[in-house]
Each structure stands twice: as structure tokens, then as C-alpha cells.
Structure 1
Amino acid sequence: MYFLNLKGFHPIKGINTDNHNKYPFLESTDGLFEPDDFEYNFNRSFPFEQIELSESRSIYVSEPNLLKVFKNTATVDNKILVNNVKPIEEAYTKELADIFYSGYDEGMANFYEEIGQTFLSLGLEQKKQALRDFITYCHTNLYFEGFAVPEVIYALGYIQASLVKGFQEYSNLKNLNEKEQASPVVNVYPVFKMPEPDVKPDYVFEASVEAAPKPSPPQITRPDADSHILLRYPASKIFDLWCALLDAQLCQLMQVPKVFNSEDEIKELLGRLFKLDDQEQMWSLSDSEYYYQMAPGYQNLLCLLMHATYKLNTTYLKVPQVKYCELLKSNFSSFETYESVGDIQRNMTKKKDTAIDFVHKSSGSYAKKAYKVLKKVPTYILRS
């Protein structure tokens, strides 16, 4: 656990965007900002890009969305929008970069404080593992959704600097090995056996030696194979969202055959995807495997439903987006044409944007309820 004193950041929930309504929201003309790959690649030589802010200030950035913002040229090819309306101005980009640099500068200075005082006393292999854990933690929480909250920008700069320093330390240590300790040199001299005395002691103490107990075999714990994602967002809203699959008019607009015919079937579906915790049990958890045969035309809508669920649930529980994509790949035949889960994740934003238009156009009751839920997604800017 790191960054306990970092404002705008919670060590469990991550970046705090509660004040997002007070500040502008940024996005690319190519769509909303999406997180980087969840798994960090430790084999990359140097996964950072240097940004020159001035003659005396430069930063190394790996977060893809911040790179888009800081590298954006407002006068030539402006690709960053403010509140989905106007292109970002160069002065505002500089203002955000200055805030980011302030956090970046402090993060550089506080690296050893963040990684812990015991780090320097660890052995080489322990240091490597500690750095891998630290780097993974930084990478997981380094995600700019688009909320230009000053505290958020500052926190992202702080975490980015921590990631750069952690990677630097790890790069310097990863190819080193512990030196084997040389065996002590023992000089052997002739040993002369002294004659035994004629007088033997009256009593010889014989110590009983008990055999050391055999160590018990280590206990092996099997990994949890549960693929369900825990939901903390109100289950009733998630249910209303996924009931869009029951909307006949929506299916007609998408030109796909209707697959689900009752709310119980939707609950059964949700029971195969998500588990509930400390809230009304709207559906029962199901461990039975079932592969839904659905037309490829369902890709857009399924991406929307899963992406919206991910965004809503993230405000309560941080689960990587790739886990939601894994559910799409393993449960719906619509995604058979995708070779990897990463391909689904990369195409998710475009597909869900297409589906939003279909949901908005439908006058069906289920689609209307789903659209109300979509309006609650923090990063979605929808028409009324």
C-alpha cells in the first residue's frame, strides 16, 4: 500500500474524481480516454516519452491519455476537446502541465519514502520483487479518464514520477545476481593424539539425543477459479441496464434476432457474470457454464453494457477493464472472431458509442430505463 498522504488519491480505490462536476472534462476527437494495458511489461527497454515543458523542465510520461493532452498542438491539429464541445486552448494545456509537473517533481523527491524505509535493507532478490510490486501498483492506478480536477492531475504527476523512479531502480538491479559467499579458508595442521589417562572418571554423563521432528509438508492452496466480478454498484441499476437486451425495438434497430425473452433470463445471465456483496440479492450466483449463441451484431450492445457496468462499478471497486472483457470473450459467441481479449478492449469504446445511439433511438420501455442508467456513467456525455 502506497501514497497514503497523496491528496486526490485513495490507496484502495485509486484516483478520487468525486469533484469532477466542478471542472472541465477532456476527451480525444477519437473517443473517450481508455486505460492502458492492465499487465505491465517489465521487458520494455524504456516505456516513457520525454515531454519538454520548458528549457529547464522536462517529464517522462507513459500514461497514453496524458501523452495525447501534453503533445496536442492546438494551432495545427487539435485533437483534444473540452466538455465535448470546444477544442482545448494552449494556455489551458500549459496550466494542466504545470500542475502535473508539481506532482511529478514531488514524486521524484519522495520515492524512497513511498517505497518504504526497509527497502534499502532488503536483499537483492527482495528488492527486485518490491520494485515489481511498486511498479505494478503505480501502473494500475496511473489512468487519466479525462477529469481535469487539479488534485487529480497533481496525483497523476506524483504517481507517474514514482513509476519512472521505480523503473529506473529496477532496470539497474534486474540483471544483477547475489555474490556467492566464498568458503572460509581453513589451515590444516598435524594433529597429535595425546595418550588417554589411566584414571577413568567415576561417572560419565550420557546425553540423550532425540531425533529432530520431520517438517510437515507445505499446504498447497488452489487458486480461486471464480470468474465472477464482484459488484458494489446497486444491483437494481445494473439489472435495468442489462434489460436492454429484452427491448424488441432496439433489436430491430440493430437488425439482430431477439435472444432473451424474460427478466428471469437476464437475472440468470447476470448470475453467470457478476456476484453481489452486502446488497439486495437480485439474482442468484451461477457456476454453471453456458455459452450464449448471439449474432455478431450484438457486439456493440454487449460492449456498451459491459463498459457501462465497468465504469459504474469502478466508483466503488477497482477491477481492471480487461476482466470485464474476459467475460465477453468467454460467454458470448458474438466475440468468436476476436483472437484476444485485448482486441475487445481496444475496440470497446467505438462499439459502445455506436450502441448508445441505438439505445437512444429506441422508444421501448427497457431501452429507456437502460438509457437513464447510462446517464449516470461519469464519463458518458449523453443527449437528454
Structure 2
Amino acid sequence: MFFHHLKNFSPYSGHIYDDMHVPFVQKKDGYLSKKDSRFDLMDRLGYFPFKELIRDDRAYFISDIDLYEFLNSDENTIDNYTAGYGEWNIAQKESFAECFFTGYNVGVIEFERNTGMAYHGYTIEQQTRYLHVFCLYCLDFLFFDGDLDKGLFYNLGYLQASFYRGFIEINNLKSALPDGSPGVRLHFESYNKVLAIAQAAKVRQEKTQKAAENNKPITPDTSNVKPPVSKQATAPMPTRIELLCNLDEIKSIWRVLTAPLNTKNGTEEAVFDAQQLAQFLGASFSSGAFPDALPFGKQTEIIKTSKGDMRNVLIALIFATYNINHEYNRGVTQMEYVGILKRHFSVFSGSGPVSIKNTLATFNPKGIKVIKNSQSVNPHVDEMLSILKKHKLLH
């Protein structure tokens, strides 16, 4: 147990407040509740499962999406919440948000205090296991179910900062272990450089060992020397894009292709069945955190669809995927997403990648309109639209 000094908090039972008599808010388009899925964050070590919120020139990193959306609400979005009592406005919301940020600022500073005296005497492996328990403990009480209590919000901020510090510390410790991970993917270029350095060091070590065994002189390592590239040459696009976002959301977005769509040319039959969709997603995307969720599969057949509306639908789907994943994986460009369209759908065969990229934002609304008009024949449209609304991609 941790946080023995924290006011309005029991290390055994959690937050202390009268939950039967405090005011609360509800979301108009969903439920605020305690979700077990929050513990899945610990399966994403090596990634950065936090949303960044800038306030008063300071960055706050928040793992609970419901909490993030509430804290980030403003005059334009405050009406998404209704109060279980009387009047509700932005000033009231800000009074609770201020308590959260105050608790967060204190929690960031007091991380070392909360890890305890024995922590610094542990080995790196022991520290990693200890912090894993610490983070799970934080997550046990880190959720927002709509209750409005200032002491509660202070403690939520404190716990969020503690979880953030613990999560980052685990990744930093793992990067110090032999053959450990390169740390959190905060900056993807830096991450790739670390991987390249580690790989080069491994190659040099293997050559040294082999030369010693054969009693031969060591040849210079030229594995990282790149041959000259002509101006006409272009680097090949990766065949799979890594998804660091919610995989279920991406699957739900593309699931609209497993049912009919209403187009100007009539009803377009389903592009995929469930198995074909899984094969397409596995050929196009990957997940380092959950590799079994997107098993790799080669897709050799080019998919044929009608032109016009269906082309716009495909653009809308890839554009949504790009925007959602870009929140977490900023190392992949739009051109690489366009590459998926070029490789898998014949309707894009006559267009160049740059041309397609430059028209994504233009044709995206047209594709969304086709999808909206298909609600009567496609049971997956509503779920897709709700996901787009959640990510502010649909108004």
C-alpha cells in the first residue's frame, strides 16, 4: 500500500468522501464509470499511453480518457455534460479542475517520497517489479465516474502524476538493462536512432567474437554506411504501420466495409467479410503491444470497388485511421497511410501517392456523407460515427 500521508484517502479502501451526497455530472453521449480496461495500460510499456493537456504553460499527462475530456472541456464542449443537480457551468468545472492540477503538481514532486526508503537499495530488476506494483496500485483508484468533490479531484491529480512518474521510470529502468527496451517512444526519431545504435553494437560484438575465434583481423564495420542514392530513387514505404492507439476503434472504423453502403450508383455490396477484413488489417497494420490482435498476413489480391463514392469512403477510413493513430504515433506520415490505399485497392491505381495525399482532407467529408447515408443498410455505421465524434473528427 502507498500514499499513507494523503488526506481524504485510505491506503486500503481508497478515496474518502460521501459519495451518496456529493454532486455529480453525466455525459450526454456516454457513461462515466470505473473501467477495468485502465489496467491494460501496463501492457503497453515502451509506448506513451497518455494524453497531453497544456495549462498555464505546463504539460499534464493524463491516462484516463474520461478524466482528460472533462478537464479539457471548455465553453464549446461543457454542454456535453449534465449535472445531477441544479445549474452546471464552466466556472464550476474549473473549480474542480484547479484542484486536480494542484494535486498533480504536488504528486510529480513527491514521487520519490512515495516509493519508500527501501526502493533505492533494490537492483534494477527489483525496482522495475516494485514500480509495476506501484503503478497498478495507482490505477486501482485512478478513474473518474462523475462524482464532484474537491478533495477527490486533488487526489486524482496526485495519483495521475504518481502513475505517470512510475510508468516513465519503469521504461527508463528497462532501457538500462542488457538487451532492454530503448525506453518510451516519446520522440520516434530518437527511438529509431537508439535501435540503430543497439543493432550496430550487436553486430560489432558478433564480429569481434567471430574474429577472435578464427584468429583473424577484425574488418571495419560498414553496416551503417549507406550507398549513394540517385535523386530519382525513393525510400520504400513500410508494408505495415504500427498502431499505438486503441486497436478496437480502428477495427470498428473499417468494419463498415463488411456491410453494404449506399452510393450514387446504387447499393455497393460488402467489400470484405470478417475474415477478409482481419487479413487486410493484419497486412496493413501492426501492434507491438498486442501482436496477436493484428496477426501478419499477406494479402496478394488487389481489392476492386466502384469508383466515385467508394473511393471517397476509403479515403475517409484511412484519413480517420491516420488522425486517431497520429495522436500516439507521430512518426508515420500521411504518405505511408496513402501507401495502404495504393497497395490494396485498385481504384487508386491510376493516381500518384502525392496526388492522393493532397486530396485526403477534400474528399474525406464526401466519404463520411456516403457512410452516414448508409445507416439504414449498414449496422456498423453508428459505432464508427461515435468513434469519430469521440476524437473530434466529426461535428
Smaller-chain TM-score range? 0.3 to 0.5
| Richer in helix (by share) | 2
TM-score (norm 1): 0.43
Larger RCO: 1 or 2 (CA < 8 Å, sep 6+): 1
Q: Which has the larger radius of gyration?
A: 1
